[in-house]
Amino acid sequence: MRNKIYFVANLELTYGINSNGQLVHVNSVARGQACQCICPNCGADLIAKQGIKKTWHFAHANESDCKGARMTALHMLAQQIIKNRKSVRLPRYEGMYAPPFESKVINFDNIKLEKIFQLEEINRRPDCIGIKCDKYGNTREIWIEIKVTHGVDQLKMQDIREKNISCIEIDLSDLLETNYTIDDIYELVIVKSDKIKWINSPILAQKDQQYKKIKEAEAIEKAQKSNEIQSYIDKQNELKKQTRKQKLEVVEFEEDIYLPLSDKEYFEAWEELAKMFNNL
């Protein structure tokens, strides 16, 4: 039996930044240095390799080995999709008490990329911030973190939770070892929810606590009603016992009065009466 041979596709850089600052696929640009693209990671000039033997890809004009290029391109493509679509999928949230919040797509009024968040001693730069306005002019913000090689660490998570910031994380790490496309990224950002998780959701957590209080109040009310019912039953049982006891006492008394005499007692009574009569 012959051993199977598996061929692994070469993972090349297929996205570069054009002169307009947009990420573009190698298939959509001119050949060679005429592509006028730069590396999304190091900023060096790229050459569009569009031959007939190898899969089309970008190469660095200075022949440098930029290992972070594909990672940065993946990260930036996700940001570009979110900004252009002004939407993202929220994952399912299941608390302890409230009904589950099912996954859904949320549309934003604005998306800000790499905006510095500074409050007191906290200085953070989330990958994206989705801003949504209600009809009263109030705004809500959701941080959108994109995981390619590193997720949200404990320190950042602590800051997010201490400041009651809504935040989700989208895990794209599986795509890094593939020849990913925009469609692949779009599917994980907008269509599916299995690679998205909540880092923090103050609103949903607060809702869960509200349901907790409602359920606790219902449990207390139920216990009180149960105690009242049991107390009523106990009183009724006690009354029945007392009534039964009184009936037994009456029966015993009646038996003492109307109990017939025995023959011996009958004749002894007559003898007593005869003696009394003779003495008169």
Note whether 190 and 243 are same-domain residues: no
Note whether 96 and 195 are same-domain residues: yes
Record the pTM.
Answer: 0.72
Note whether 161 and 234 are same-domain residues: no
Q: Among the three residues 167, 200, 233, which one is the final residue of a domain in this structure? A: 200
- Each of the 280 residues of the chain gets a pLDDT tens digit; together they read 334 333 334 688 999 999 999 999 999 999 999 999 999 999 999 999 999 888 899 999 998 888 899 999 999 999 999 999 999 999 999 888 888 889 999 999 999 997 666 556 667 789 999 999 888 888 899 999 999 998 998 989 998 998 899 999 999 999 999 989 999 999 999 999 999 999 999 988 888 888 888 888 888 888 888 777 777 777 877 887 787 777 666 555 555 554 555 666 666 666 666 666 665 5
Q: Among the three residues 176, 200, 224, which one is the final residue of a domain in this structure? A: 200
Classified as helix, coil or strand, 222 is helix
Q: In the prediction, which pLDDT does 79 show? A: 95
Range of the domain at 224: 209-279
Instruction: Please tell me the total count of domains within the chain.
Output: 3
Note whether 157 and 195 are same-domain residues: yes
Note whether 60 and 90 are same-domain residues: no
Q: Among the three residues 45, 67, 89, which one is the final residue of a domain in this structure? A: 67
